[in-house]
Amino acid sequence: MTLYLARRLVTMLLTLLALSVVVFVVIQLPPGDFITSYIARLSGSGETIDQAVIDTLRERYQMDAPLLSQYWAWLKGMLHGEFGYSFEMKLPVSEIFSERIGISLAVELLAVVVMWAVAIPIGIYSAVKQYSLGDYFATVIGFFGLAVPNFLFALILMYICYVWFGVTITGLFSPEYMNAKWSLARFLDFAQHVWAPVLVIATAGTAQLVRVLRANLLDELNKPYVLTARAKGLEKRKVIMRYPVRVAMNPLVSTIGWVLPTVISSSFVTAIVLNLPTLSPILLRALLSQDMYLAGALILFMGVLTMIGTLISDLLLAWIDPRIRLGMVGAN
């Protein structure tokens, strides 16, 4: 087990290194660099910029050095915990991170938890009572959840809350708590605001999970081992929870790996519409303006999340499924 973990950690580091190369190349791919897009934006708004200032900037950030040494400088900085400087926001990347990462993870983890907590019971109900009224209801709502874009749902929610209840649901804090220190009052304020974005972000994922779990469970419910368990004299409810549900969870557990990164990268429109101080709108801005250090750090961060998630889901899978633990997949 220790050996397995050690091996996994080493491969994770190597993967991370490979990812950093890819990230760097991708960021460098579009023509121009941050300075040129900066100048373009300034001249677009009618301002001019002194050539001397440009040259100083270029030199300071080694814009004209060969790619390899730019990459090396970036990587070396990261190993020292310096993620570089965001030209766009005029702040060190680490500062932007520390400001937003906590809130971001809180909102997104909450969304994932809500997703699972809602989806699993509905999925089980839908499969066990296939073609019942409740199943059709869950199916219809589920398809709405899948089909309605998140941002539209966010806009509708905002409109309803404002027109019917006179509440604005944008942001995560009321203005007076915006920059306050954490306190019970600030936490309660956060709790009052966070439900809307969590609801919006979680809908599509929930609908998808319900469909997946329903389909998996329908396959498992007809397996002979379910009949065996019932023939033992076990209560039907217990049979379902103890046997087919456990087997049907496997494919869901294996999605844990990418669920967080997916939520972060897919929630940016919602975050913009609802004006959330999370990481995802920053990622979009950084990519649009070729803000190299910020974008690179964000993408790498998501890569790390994916790898940690995959490790967790692999360990969980091995824990719940002996066939995987003992290295035999679907022995016949």
Partner 1 sequence: MNQSSNEPVLQVRDLSVDFPHKDGAFHAIESLSFDLYPGKTTCFVGESGSGKSVTARAIMNIVDPAIITQGSVTIIDSKSQTPLELTSLDTDSEAIRAVRGARIAMIFQEPMSSLSPVHTIGQQIIEAILLHQDVNEAEARKRAIEALAAVHIHSPERAVDRYPFEYSGGMRQRAMIAMAIACEPDILIADEPTTALDVTTQAEILLLIRELQRKKGMSVMFITHDMGVVAEIADDVAVMLNGRIVEHGEVDQIFHAPTHPYTRKLIDASLGLEQSDARPLPARPDTPLIQIDDIRLQFGGHKSWFSKTVHGAVVALESVSLSLWPGEILGIVGESGSGKTSLGRVLMGRYKPVSGNVIYTDRQGRERDLTQAASFRDKQVYREIRMIFQDPYSSLNPRMTVEQIIAEPLKINGLASGHELRERVATLLERVGLSASMMERYPHAFSGGQRQRIGIARAIALEPRVIIADESTSALDGSVRAQILDLLLDLRDELGLSIIFIAHDIGVVRYLCDRVAVMHRGRVVETGLAHQVCDAPIDSYTQRLIAAVPRPDPRQRGLRSV
> Within 10 Å of residue 84's Cβ, how many Cβ atoms?
19
CB of 208 to partner 1, least distance (A): 24
Q: Kindly tell me the burial class for residue 174, based on how many C-beta atoms sit within 10 Å of its own C-beta (0-12, 13-18, 19 or more).
A: middle
155/197 Cα distance (integer angstroms): 11
Shortest separation between residue 323's beta carbon and partner 1, angstroms:
6
Q: Is 87 exposed, middle or buried (0-12, 13-18, 19+ CB in 10 A)?
A: buried
- How many residues lie near partner 1 (CB under 8 A)? 25
Nearest CA among 216, 223, 224 for reference residue 252: 216
Q: What residues from 292 to 331 belong to the interface with partner 1 (CB under 8 A)?
A: 320-323, 326, 328, 331
The residue among 167 and 328 lying less far from partner 1, judged by its C-beta, is 328
Task: Give the footprint of partner 1 on residues 20-79 (CB under 8 A).
Answer: none
Q: How far is the CB of 105 from partner 1 (least distance, A)?
A: 32
Among 14, 110, 114, 89, CA closest to 298: 89
> CB-wise, 248 or 263, nearer to partner 1?
248
Burial class (CB in 10 A: 0-12, 13-18, 19+), 105: middle
186 binds partner 1 (CB under 8 A): no
Does the footprint of partner 1 cover residue 332 (CB under 8 A)?
yes
Task: Name the token pair of 23.
Answer: 């990230």
133 binds partner 1 (CB under 8 A): no
As a residue count, the chain comes to 332
Instruction: Choose between 44 and 330: whose C-beta lies nearer to partner 1.
Output: 330
- With respect to partner 1, which residue has the nearer C-beta, 83 or 243? 243
Can you state the angle between helices 292-320 and 279-288, rounded to 10 degrees?
A: 130
| Distance of closest approach, residue 330 Cβ to partner 1, in angstroms | 8
Q: Which is closer to partner 1, CB of 44 or CB of 322?
A: 322
246 belongs to the binding site for partner 1 (CB under 8 A) = yes
* Nearest-approach distance from CB 313 to partner 1, in angstroms: 16
Cβ closest to partner 1, residue 68 vs residue 329: 329
Least distance in Å: CB of 116 to partner 1? 20
Write the interaction track for partner 1 spanning residues 136-165; mark x where CB under 8 A is met and - where it is not: ------------------------------
Residue with tokens 């809602």: 118
Query: Based on CB atoms, which residue is closest to partner 1, 147 or 227?
Result: 227
Shortest reach from residue 250's CB to partner 1, in Å: 9
In the shown chain, the binding pattern of residues 205 to 244 toward partner 1, with x for contact by CB under 8 A and - for none, equals ------------------xxx-xxxxxxxxxxx-----x-
In the region spanning residues 248 to 277, those forming contacts with partner 1, defined by CB under 8 A, are: none
247 binds partner 1 (CB under 8 A): yes
Measured from the Cβ of residue 262, the count of other Cβ atoms closer than 10 Å reads 18
Contact positions toward partner 1, by CB under 8 A?
223-225, 227-237, 243, 246-247, 320-323, 326, 328, 331-332
